[in-house]
Structure 1
Amino acid sequence: MGRAVPAVTRALDILELFLERPTLSAPEITERLGLPRTTVHELVTTLADRAYLIPVSGQPTRYRLGMRLFQLGSVFADQLDLAHEAREGAQRVAAECDETVHVAVLDGTDVVYIAKVDSTHPVRMVSAVGRRLPAHCTGVGKMLLSGLPPERLDAICPLDGELAGMTARSITSPVRLRAHLEEIRRDGLSYDECESNDAVFCVAAPVYDHTGDMVAGMSISVPSIRWDDRRREEWSGLVRHGAATLSQRLGHRPPPSRDSGAAT
């Protein structure tokens, strides 16, 4: 392992400040990083010369991210493999909980599992990559349905129809499903309480790509004999974190906090 180069580290620190604010001036960068003013001036000048930063129109002393970063990000996005990243993300979560972890995408009214990592317990969920299930009966499927615009949801799940159930606890009413999806949007988590399998509980969280679209869902599936309130809370936090980490791997950046975007 070679040593980190301080000048490169400082240049990257400058660029990463723009994850929190769309524009910054050299004095603001100096204050936030605690670097000498001359060092910041030299680094900002170099980054601007290479189009990693560009002056804000009408405010030449302020800077925003430049086109070179967009070009690099586009190359990165083109090289992403959702299935590969999903498999690695599922492995990380499964290593922490030792339960079955899935990543799935929406295809019409079904979810399709694109990644699965099994639990090592003798009693575990039986499933497979490529398997399809009705989205409204699964935790990960309901999460994905919650991310659809209203017109698309209406197209695949008309209000005047009835949904086929998989167990006695499945949601079969489109009206009830929509009310449930509102709860999922509010909470950012979706649960399957024996709705696709009489003996399995699931908790699911959303996965976003670099455009901010919900492209997949990650779930932890647990036999009912190992599900209780304490573990529900623990696994809810774990799948939320795992899905957020996978989203970051796909280039997603959460929106900045309300007070971080205004220029001063």
Structure 2
Amino acid sequence: MTAVLPSIPGARDTPAPAAFRAVQVLEYLGSRTEPATLTEVALALGIAKSSASNLVSTLEVARMVRRAGHGWVLGYKVLELGQSMLASTTLVAEFRRITNALPTLQNDTALLAALDGMEVIYLARHDGRQPIRLASDIGRRMPASVTALGKAMLASLTPEDLDRRLADVTVLPRPTKRAHRTTVELRRDLAQVRERGYAIDDEQNTIGVTCFAVPVVATGQPIAVSTTLLTQRVRPELRGRLIADLTSLARQLATFANG
């Protein structure tokens, strides 16, 4: 079965419909783990196969997509542009500089992420010095409801913004049995996040892995920082030191972001 792109404003409602469709092609290919045929691209976008062929051919010339077997995947130009964007983002540089100076967090995995709808996008990573490193790839998306980063950012939203994002949510992802089953459970968790100042992913995303996250109170798009470690390493003293470092990191990033 071919996935169809989420409902968003139509291409004809934009000043440049062809450019809009090209972006949709890139988003669709980026959502897949296997090459997509022209037929699959056409079905996903709801357009004629000939139109899909024209779009893909144009993107191939621009090196934004490439052939892979009998289908198409994202081109290396997309990675190049993504890396250029991150390199030009001073917030990422500050994240790395500050994390390297923190007494405990410098030794562990740390992540910087932004919130896009009900998904987390990983922007930067600090690998630390642990023999087993647990981190997601930069640019990867994850459901916000099962990550400490996502819950930290959701908890930092205004009530109106949170209600808007949850309005169309009918089913929450449950990668493990510890993940929330309903938005009522999620809202209860978010209330606890606001009260204590940090979020916890206690094996809601991956069994054996625990994460802590703190929101960065800054203007603009919601962002947060986190640390990821094996659950068996979580002890009260280490937990306290990591959260203290995350809080310090979040405050310094907020000061930087807010100018």
TM value normalised by structure 1? 0.59
CA 1:243–1:214 in structure 2 vs 1: closer, same or farther (change >3 Å)? farther
| Residue 232 of structure 1: how far off its partner (Å) | 1.2
2-side partners of 1:185 and 1:124: how far apart?
29
| Matched positions, count | 172
Correspondence list, 1:93-172, <5 A: 93=102, 96-158=105-167, 161-172=170-181
Q: Tell me by how many angstroms 1:96 deviates.
A: 4.2
Whole-angstrom CA distance in 1 between matches of 2:204 and 2:191: 18
Deviations 1:22-55 (Å, cap 9, x if unpaired)?
A: xxxxxxxxxxxxxxxxxxxxxxxxxxxxxxxxxx
SS at match of 1:101: strand
Q: Please report how far the alpha carbon of residue 147 of structure 1 lies from its aligned counterpart in structure 2 after TM superposition.
A: 1.6
Task: Assess if the C-alpha contact under 8 Å between 2:104 and 2:242 holds in 1.
Answer: no
The residue aligned with 2:52 is none
Deviation at 1:95, TM superposition (A): 6.5
State the 1:236 CA deviation: 1.2
Residue of structure 1 equivalent to 2:40: none
Letter in 2 for 1:177: L
Aligned counterparts of 1:156 and 1:251: Cα–Cα separation in 2: 24
Q: Measure, in 1, the Cα distance between the counterparts of 2:212 and 2:114.
A: 15
Native 8 Å contact 2:180 2:186 kept in 1: yes
Instruction: Report the RMSD for the aligned CA atoms in angstroms.
Output: 2.3
Shift of 1:159: 8.0
Q: 1:89 to 1:184 in 2, by over 3 A?
A: same
From 223, 231, 235, the equivalent of 1:224 is: 231
Which of 235, 245, 248 pairs up with 2:255? 248
In the other structure, the counterpart of 1:84 is 93
Partners of 1:114 and 1:103 in 2: CA distance: 6
Deviation string 1:129-187 (CA, Å, 9 cap, x unpaired) is: 11111001011110100122223322322387221112111112100111111111122
Mapped to 2, the partners of 1:105 and 1:145 lie a distance apart of: 11
Distance 2:195 2:97 in 1: 28
Q: Give the letter aligned to residue 250 of structure 1.
A: A
Matched position secondary structure for 1:203: strand
Deviation at 1:204, TM superposition (A): 0.8
Distance in 2 between residues matched to 1:110 and 1:93, nearest whole Å: 28
Distance, in Å, in 1 between the alignment partners of 2:174 and 2:196 is 24
1:215 aligns with 2:222: yes
Q: Alignment partner for residue 200 of structure 1, among 201, 204, 209?
A: 209
- The letter of the residue matching 1:116 is R
Distance 1:143 1:163, change over 3 A: same
Which has the greater radius of gyration? 1
Once residues 183 and 95 of structure 1 are traced to their aligned partners in structure 2, the CA distance between those partners, rounded to angstroms, is: 25
Change (3 A) 1:96 1:151: closer
- The residue type equivalent to 2:122 in the other structure is Y
Q: Secondary structure at the match of 1:168?
A: coil
**Match among 228, 232, 243 for residue 236 of structure 1:** 243
Give the TM-score of the pair, scaled to structure 2: 0.60
Could you tell me which runs of 5 or more consecutive residues in structure 2 were left unpaired when the two chains were aligned: 1-87
Aligned to 2:43: none
By how many angstroms is 1:86 displaced? 2.8
CA distance in 1 between counterparts of 2:138 and 2:224 reads: 14
- Identity percentage over the alignment? 29
